[in-house]
């Protein structure tokens, strides 16, 4: 039951936004429950401002009332960073109504959008202008560009185009004091002081609220071809990656590795997808080659590369998709691994990275450790090898009670995997962020001086601690 | 004359580093005078630590004594950001002895170097390993990677590979408290908290001292070809840039625009360079196409592009270099503009950026304004058009007293140019940084909320204000 001060705040918020955009009743699960349905929070209110100035007014009102704010985009985050806690005292600030494409500048190769624009709509706006916006990930039909930036989203095109961070040239941000920082420049070079853009990107709404962004556009490739290769080992996959960098140059836009068991699950649960080449090889690789010339040229480059890789022994078999539908199917197989895992039962997910050169040893050592500690454990290893980012997931042994397995093993499996990541100089969150889920693990795995600097910055920019408290840094 | 506390500090520093590396006498102009010889400072001492721990100890000693520190790399900065002030009370901390290449990891495409490594040596270490380190700029024989990162250096390859910022994956930094942040990861994805790497990059030594960095390597292109095109207008140059992005894709690694008067100066002072095509056109463009295949393929792509550009009318004449020496000569012409300007006499330099789409209008409006205000003024306009970055320089009218001209006009010319930059949404420092030279201009041209956030961050990370005080932010 809200207290008197909270009721005053609600009245004030209703004056600012109108009754219809301050939600306190009815089914608010779309805002209060996290994407993976692991946690359910309870907001004092869900507020839905429609413009930057309204966001600023909401922040000022909350700051005055000492009420904390959880910003939210499409609520597709995987680390419980965008829903309120369960106290019923936080304001959930949804950016979904701020979804306009403000400007497309084709000479500058930029597009300026509001934070609540759904990623797929942004991709389509770029395409309509004849250009590519390369950020692409599973949740693109629901996630918003503001959330992508707040969490520095990755996805499948990072190898060539970088993370969300590298695709952004400017931001408009509402600070913890309710001031608006206008830095929506479309400049590729600007050395007039500290890099506030990158500080805000990846800060998960704890330092400021991103309300709009200027993003980079790229020329649309003339053609993208997809190949699928069987590789005899992880080390061979790394070698193939090196060859692909050398011979495809910037044409190499995708390089995904998938372990045999991961592909077995897709084959088992989605047999119509007809997974190629997986049965006789420990790993397969999906490669994408985007070409500014022609399909014939792209195909010739792929065949040249794969010829060299055969000779070298780092590829044992390969196919190049003959049609767009074949190419889509190969990507679809890759993207179905997570769903196939879910079909198979509960599992423990990781989103880790290590230097690419360490991946073969990391996989070997971690596989051996887990199989020794938990006989029968099944490893679903796949991910963006070109970025050093693996979704190194762990499935319970066959025919076991998966709920009990998770209860008894999740923490220790996480610890084993994270310790191994640390030993190889890696990160326990490559692309999903920290949220509430990993905030208490950071002190064990992150440089203590870096962590102390983060705390200083949080206190400097949000001294009241009202922006998404308890996420990223305590 | 140093006071007693300062003398104690000097004794302490000598104990830490040895007599030979705490310099207080003799000719210290290499450390105390700025690159363009506009300002001369006076240090309490020049200290030359040889390892990270020594840097940390120096910082702790200075912090205890309340003495401020100016970090310095190759001392090639252009904004007076790396020399001491004239009070004789600051410690100049040179990173030049920390110049080791610590590791080359070809599978991870990274190279880890100490801050004092000269850029050219880094380029060579990459080349010896069979890879490209693409950061390239005029001072590369003297500047250090630590300085490049502290100022987020740009140069001629930004169009394809980004600024120094985009080439860095990890840093080792000594904080204002003398702690060492160990974040030399070679990870392409790491979302475990705030982006301290990018906060340090471009902070010009005011938030921490970069002691080492992990930098990206790229596959060496099979061939780089250079072309030179006459364009009828700035708008045509922008159009050609769009066509080049579309048809060369990531092969486009250089796009430099040069105005007729800039080329006239090169022709006048260095006639042996034989500047092509400049006499009948207001602007020329230098294009570089780097190809992962072959010279024949690169040439075919260039010819295809230039054919389209002729048809379109955005190019009136063009040559493609037939040999490496011809290509080098074209780049040499581009790089000789600054020297030719110096031969011609004193001038007013700018390092500005605006959105690429605004460049034609910016140039037209600013040219007109300056020519109206100062009859006979000569505009030396050239720069990295592909990044929106112009060195829009201003030369005194012919046959005038250039010293008097500068004295009477420098401030007002700067104001006109900067106001015009602001009107077009640009930056008054695209690639050179802020230093002491532009710190007092920032409040007039930078978003006030951004400036306030910068001040909060400075106070949070360096509460004593001892790291390079008075630079970047007051």
Q: Is B215 domain-assigned?
A: yes
- Mean pLDDT score, A454-461: 98
Residue B63 distance to chain A (closest CA, Å): 17
Compute CA B369 distance to the chain's CA centroid, rounded to the nearest angstrom: 28
For A353-365, write each residue's pLDDT tens digit. 999 999 999 999 9
Residues of chain B contacting residue A59, judged by C-beta atoms under 8 Å apart: none
Contact by Cβ (8 Å): B161, A401: no
The helix (run of H) or strand (run of E) holding residue B308 is helix B295-312
DSSP code at position B199: H
For the segment B427-459, what is each residue's pLDDT rounded down to a tens digit?
Answer: 999 999 999 999 999 999 999 999 999 999 999
Same domain as A108, residue A77 = no
Q: Could you read off the pLDDT of A223-248 as tens digits, one per residue?
A: 999 999 999 999 999 999 999 999 99
Domain stop point among B203, B219, B235: B219
Cβ atoms B96, B147 nearer than 8 A: no
**B142 contacts B76 by C-beta, under 8 angstroms:** yes
* Range in A1-5, A320-324, A341-345, A421-425 the model is least confident about: A1-5
Q: Please indicate, yes or no, if residue B377 is contained in any of the structural domains.
A: yes
Give the pair of three-digit tokens for residue A221: 């490739």
Q: Is A463 a domain residue?
A: no
Answer with the one of A219, A248, A272 that is the final residue of a domain.
A219
pLDDT at residue B22 is higher than 70? yes
Are B148 and B253 part of one and the same domain?
no
B185 and chain A in contact, CB less than 8 A = yes
Angle (nearest 5°) at CA B207 between B206 and B209: 85
Output the six-digit token pair for B167.
């080439």
Is residue B215 packed enough to be buried (19+ CB in 10 Å), middle (13-18) or exposed (0-12)?
A: buried
A473 is written with which tokens? 């840094």
Same domain, B149 and B256: no
Beta carbons of B175 and A449 less than 8 Å apart? yes
The pLDDT of residue A5 is: 85
- Same structural domain, A202 and A246: no
Say if residue A105 is in the same domain as residue A212: yes
H or E, element range at B257: strand B252-259
Size of interface A-B (CB pairs under 8 A): 281
Q: Which of B192, B224, B388, B433 to mutate to test the interface with A (most CBs of A within 10 A)?
A: B192
- Beta-bridge mates of residue A183: A171
Helix (H) or strand (E) holding A227: strand A223-231
Interchain pair B193, A461: CB under 8 A:
no
pLDDT at B139: 93
Interface subset of A 160-179, CB within 8 angstroms of B: 160, 162-163, 165-166, 175, 179
| Contact A157/B at CB under 8 A | no
The answer, for B452 touching chain A at a CB cutoff of 8 Å, is yes
User: At B461, is the secondary structure helix, strand, or coil?
Assistant: helix
Q: What share of chain B is helix, strand, coil (3-state, %, to 5)?
A: 40, 20, 35
A64 within a domain of the structure (yes/no): yes
Quick check: A381 and A395 in contact, CB under 8 A?
no
Q: What residues contact residue B246 under an 8 Å CB cut-off, 6+ apart?
A: A219, A292
Are residues B248 and A292, on separate chains, in Cβ contact within 8 Å? yes
From CA B210, how far away is CA B296, in angstroms rounded? 43
pLDDT tens, A301-342? 999 999 999 999 999 999 999 999 999 999 999 999 999 999
Q: In what order do the strands lie in the sheet with A180-183?
A: A101-105, A110-114, A209-216, A168-174, A180-183
Band (B325; pLDDT cuts 50, 70, 90): very high
Are B138 and B168 contained in the same domain?
A: yes
Decide if B102 contacts B108 (C-beta within 8 A): no
Assess whether B245 and B140 both reside in one domain: no
Do B372 and B413 sit in the same domain of this protein? yes
Beta bridge partners of B353: B389, B427
Q: How far is B439 from chain A (nearest CA, A)?
A: 9
pLDDT of residue A1: 60
Number of domains in chain A: 3
Clarify whether residues A23 and A65 are in a common domain.
yes
User: Which pairing describes strands A218-219 and A347-348: parallel, antiparallel, or unpaired?
Assistant: unpaired
Q: What is the predicted pLDDT for the residue at B277? A: 96
Chain A contact for B108 (CB, 8 A cutoff): yes
Would the CB atoms of A193 and B431 count as touching at under 8 Å?
A: no
A429 CA: distance to closest CA in chain B (Å): 5
- Burial degree of B216 (CB within 10 A; 0-12, 13-18, 19+): buried
Of A106, A185, A353, the CB nearest to B189: A353
Report the residue from B163, B183, B473 with minimal CB separation from A189: B163
Across residues A102-114, what is the average pLDDT? 98
Domain boundary among B175, B202, B219: B219
Same domain, B203 and B144: yes
User: Contacts for A278-281 with beta carbons within 8 Å, 24 or more apart?
Assistant: A278/A230, A280/A230, A280/A316, A280/A317, A281/A230, A281/A231, A281/A232, A281/A316, A281/A317
A208 plus A229 within the same structural domain: no
CA distance B197 to B149: 10
> CB-based contact (8 Å) between A182 and chain B?
yes
Residue for token digits 């840094």? A473
Q: CATH no. for residue A34?
A: 3.30.43.10
CB contact under 8 A, A202 and B185: no
pLDDT in tens, A405-415: 999 999 999 99
A30-54 per-position pLDDT tens digit:
999 999 888 999 999 999 999 999 9
CB contacts of B473 in chain A (<8 Å) are: 193-194
Residue A70 CB contacts under 8 Å (≥ 6 apart), including other chains: A43, A82, A83, A84, A90, A91, A92, A93, A205, A468
Name the average pLDDT for chain A. 96
User: With a CB-CB cutoff of 8 Å, which residues 23-82 of chain A face chain B?
Assistant: none
Structure-token match 């780092």, residue found: A314
Quote the distance between the C-alpha of residue B39 and its chain's center.
19
Domain assignment present for B63: no
Is the Cβ of B134 closer than 8 Å to some Cβ of chain A? no
Tokens of A143: 């996630």
> Domain containing B390 — which CATH number?
3.30.70.2740
pLDDT of residue A85: 97
Among B174, B194, B252, B356, pick the best mutation site for testing chain A contact (most A Cβ within 10 A): B194
- Band the pLDDT of B271: cuts 50, 70, 90: very high
DSSP secondary structure, B9-52, as one string:
HHHHHHHHH-GGGEE-SS--HHHHB-TTSS-B--EEEEE---SH
Three-class secondary structure of residue B102 per DSSP: strand
Q: Which helix (H) or strand (E) holds A70?
A: strand A69-72
Residue A411 lies in a domain: no
Least CB-CB distance to B196: which of A106, A246, A453? A453
Rounded to whole angstroms, the Cα distance separating A340 from A338 reads 5
Q: Is position A389 within any domain?
A: no
Share of chain B above pLDDT 70, in %: 100
Res A399 pLDDT > 70: yes
* Residue B383 · residue B363 · CB < 8 Å: no
* Residue contact A356–B108, C-beta within 8 A: yes
Supply the CATH number for residue B200's domain: 3.30.465.10
Interface test with A, best of B191, B224, B239, B257 (most A CBs within 10 A): B191
> What's the rounded Cα separation, in Å, for the pair A284 and A409?
29
| A272 near B CB under 8 A | no
Q: Give the span between the Cα atoms of A211 and A163, in whole angstroms.
A: 19
C-beta separation of B211 from B95 below 8 A:
yes
pLDDT confidence of residue A354: 98
**Distance between CA atoms of residues A78 and A338, nearest Å:** 13
Is the distance from CB of A50 to CB of A72 less than 8 angstroms?
no
| Residues of the domain holding B381 | 345-423
How much is the mean pLDDT over chain B?
A: 96
Phi, psi angle pair for B248, to nearest 5°: -100, -15
pLDDT band at B1 (very low <50, low <70, confident <90, very high): low
Q: Is the pLDDT of residue A2 over 80?
A: no
pLDDT digits (tens, 9 = 90+) for B338-379: 999 999 988 999 999 999 999 999 999 999 999 999 999 999
User: Closest-CA residue in chain B for A424?
Assistant: B185
* CA pair distance A180, A176, nearest whole angstrom: 10
Q: What is the DSSP-derived secondary structure letter of residue A221?
A: P
Question: In this complex, is the C-beta atom of A142 within 8 Å of any C-beta atom belonging to chain B?
Answer: no
- How close A381 gets to chain B, by Cα (Å)? 17
The Cα A407–Cα A173 span in angstroms is 41
Q: CATH no. for residue B304?
A: 3.30.70.2190
Contact check, Cβ <8 Å, A109/B429: no
* A159 contacts A387 by C-beta, under 8 angstroms: yes
Backbone torsions φ then ψ of A391, nearest 5 degrees: -95, 85
3-state helix, strand, coil in chain A (%, to 5): 40, 20, 35
**In B, which residues are within 8 Å of A199 by CB distance?**
194-195, 198-199, 457
pLDDT confidence tier of residue B5, bands split at 50, 70 and 90: confident
Residue B38 has pLDDT above 90, yes or no: no
Q: Which of B152, B452, B458 sits opposite A191 (nearest CB)?
A: B152
Q: What percent of chain A has pLDDT over 70?
A: 100
Mean pLDDT in residue range B188-198: 97
Does A357 reach chain B within 8 Å, measured CB to CB?
yes
> Are B304 and B408 members of one domain?
no
CB contacts, 8 Å: A445 with chain B:
192
pLDDT at A3 over 90: no
Structure tokens, B57: 């100890």
Burial label for B139, CB within 10 Å (0-12, 13-18, 19+), is buried
Q: Does A193 map to a domain?
A: yes
């Amino acid at each position: 039951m809200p207290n008197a001060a909270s009721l005053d705040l609600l009245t004030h918020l209703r004056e600012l936004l109108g009754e219809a955009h301050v939600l306190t009743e009815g089914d608010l699960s779309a805002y209060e429950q996290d994407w993976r349905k692991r946690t359910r929070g309870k907001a004092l209110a869900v507020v839905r401002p429609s413009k930057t100035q309204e966001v600023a007014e909401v922040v000022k009102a909350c700051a005055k009332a000492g009420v904390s704010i959880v910003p939210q985009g499409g609520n597709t985050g995987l680390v419980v960073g965008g829903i309120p806690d369960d106290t019923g005292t936080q304001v959930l600030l949804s950016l979904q109504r701020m979804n306009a494409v403000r400007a497309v500048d084709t000479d500058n190769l930029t597009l300026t959008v509001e934070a609540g624009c759904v990623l797929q709509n942004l991709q389509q706006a770029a395409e309509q202008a004849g250009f590519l916006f390369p950020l692409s990930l599973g949740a693109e039909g629901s996630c918003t560009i503001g959330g992508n930036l707040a969490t520095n989203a990755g996805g499948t095109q990072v190898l060539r185009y970088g993370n969300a961070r590298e695709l952004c040239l400017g931001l408009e941000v509402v600070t913890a004091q309710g001031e608006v920082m206008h830095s929506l420049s479309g400049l590729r070079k600007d050395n007039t002081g500290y890099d506030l853009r990158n500080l805000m990107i990846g800060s998960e709404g704890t330092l400021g609220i991103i309300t709009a962004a200027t993003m980079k556009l790229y020329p649309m490739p003339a053609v993208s071809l997809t190949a699928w290769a069987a590789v005899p080992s992880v080390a061979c996959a790394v070698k193939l990656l090196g060859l692909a960098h050398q011979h495809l140059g910037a044409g190499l836009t995708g390089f995904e590795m998938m372990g045999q068991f991961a592909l077995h699950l897709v084959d088992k649960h989605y047999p119509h997808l007809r997974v190629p080449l997986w049965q006789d090889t420990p790993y397969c690789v999906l490669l994408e080659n985007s070409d500014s010339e022609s399909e014939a040229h792209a195909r010739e480059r792929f065949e040249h590369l794969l010829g060299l890789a055969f000779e070298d022994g780092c590829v044992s078999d390969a196919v190049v998709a003959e049609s767009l539908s074949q190419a889509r199917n190969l990507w679809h197989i890759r993207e179905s691994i997570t769903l196939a895992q879910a079909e198979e039962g509960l599992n423990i997910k990781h989103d880790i990275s290590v230097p690419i050169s360490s991946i073969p040893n990391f996989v070997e050592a971690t596989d051996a450790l887990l199989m020794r500690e938990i006989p029968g454990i099944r490893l679903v290893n796949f991910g963006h090898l070109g970025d050093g980012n693996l979704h190194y997931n762990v499935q319970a042994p066959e025919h076991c009670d998966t709920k009990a397995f998770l209860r008894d093993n999740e923490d220790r499996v996480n610890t084993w995997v994270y310790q191994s990541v640390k030993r190889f100089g890696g990160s326990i969150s490559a692309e999903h962020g920290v949220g509430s889920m990993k905030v208490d693990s950071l002190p064990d795995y992150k440089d203590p001086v870096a962590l102390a600097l983060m705390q200083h910055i949080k206190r400097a920019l949000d001294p009241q601690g009202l922006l998404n408290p308890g996420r990223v840094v305590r």
